[in-house]
Amino acid sequence: MSKNFRAKVINNFALNPRTFLLEIEPIEETIAPKPGQFYMIQPDSSYDPLLKRPFSYIRKSNGKIQFLCAIKGKGTRLMMNFHSNKIISMLGPFGNGYPIFKSNHISLLIAGGTGIASILSLSNEVQNKYLIYGARTRDELLLLDKIEELGDRFIVCTNDCSYGKKGMVDELLKDFISSHKDNINSIIIYACGPLPMLKAISKISAENNIKGFASLEENMACGFGACLGCAVKTKQGYQRVCKEGPVFPFKEIIW
């Protein structure tokens, strides 16, 4: 069982012009991932780009692992063109995923943009849950098919009003809190998305005394705690997103 493995590309297709869904299958024995963990994927075998890229997995089933990847720069542009059967080099699973509590509580999952990938890995593992999912436009709301089974426990919004409610997830969070005043103490928030979104959610949580966790991103060289490159400021000093994170309690993060 290795965290340094090769995998075969099974499927790779565009969901919109800026995002693709990548499915791979390890060709060596690997370790099972936990919700919120991530993998490092090598975009190319040359040294340009040099470093592997971190991606949260969406789910693992039948030995296959799925990723949702936004096209940002050099690495993701190369990954977008991964053809089926290509053998790629990967590391993982890494990081501390989302803490899952045995107690009787409501899990409020909040995703912004491609943050939905990490949130979906968790969604399968928790019971009494709600999911708030926001994106800029309809076009950027992805993987809805995988989510809609949640029915009315699934709340979706777009900034431009092109689908679901209009607005940002933090507004929906406020609404949610108002309508759950009674059992507010049993809510636990799990959030993944752009930094400003996480910041806003963390603030609202603090105001309402709700416990919550955010999955953070930072540039990474290694992904497994060796380079100290992925530090984020926390109340306990710098911590590594790849090792102590990527999931941190809201109240530990110094935003």
Ligand X SMILES: Cc1cc2nc3c(=O)[nH]c(=O)nc-3n(C[C@H](O)[C@H](O)[C@H](O)COP(=O)(O)OP(=O)(O)OC[C@H]3O[C@@H](n4cnc5c(N)ncnc54)[C@H](O)[C@@H]3O)c2cc1C
> Which residues lie near ligand FES (CB under 6 A)?
220-223, 225-230, 240, 242-243
Query: In the stretch 38-67, what mask flags binding to a copy of itself with x, by CB under 8 A?
Result: ------x-xxxx------------------
Q: Does 227 bind ligand FMN (CB under 6 A)?
A: yes
Residues 235 and 252: beta-carbon distance below 8 Å: yes
Cα 88 from Cα 82, distance rounded (Å):
9
Residue 242 binds what, of a copy of itself, ligand FMN, ligand FES, none (CB under 5 to 8 Å, by partner type)?
Answer: ligand FES
Residue 231 binds what, of a copy of itself, ligand X, other proteins, none (CB under 5 to 8 Å, by partner type)?
Answer: other proteins
Query: In the stretch 39-58, what mask flags binding to ligand X with x, by CB under 6 A?
Result: ----------x-x-xxxx--
Residue 100 binds what, of ligand FES, a copy of itself, ligand FMN, none (CB under 5 to 8 Å, by partner type)?
Answer: none
Q: Does 85 bind a copy of itself (CB under 8 A)?
A: no
Q: Which of 147, 191, 220, 253 binds other proteins (CB under 8 A)?
A: 220
Q: Does 29 bind other proteins (CB under 8 A)?
A: no
Residue type for 198, please?
L
Cα 150 from Cα 45, distance rounded (Å):
40
Residue 233 binds what, of other proteins, ligand FMN, ligand FES, none (CB under 5 to 8 Å, by partner type)?
Answer: other proteins
Site residues (vs a copy of itself, CB under 8 A)? 44, 46-49, 74
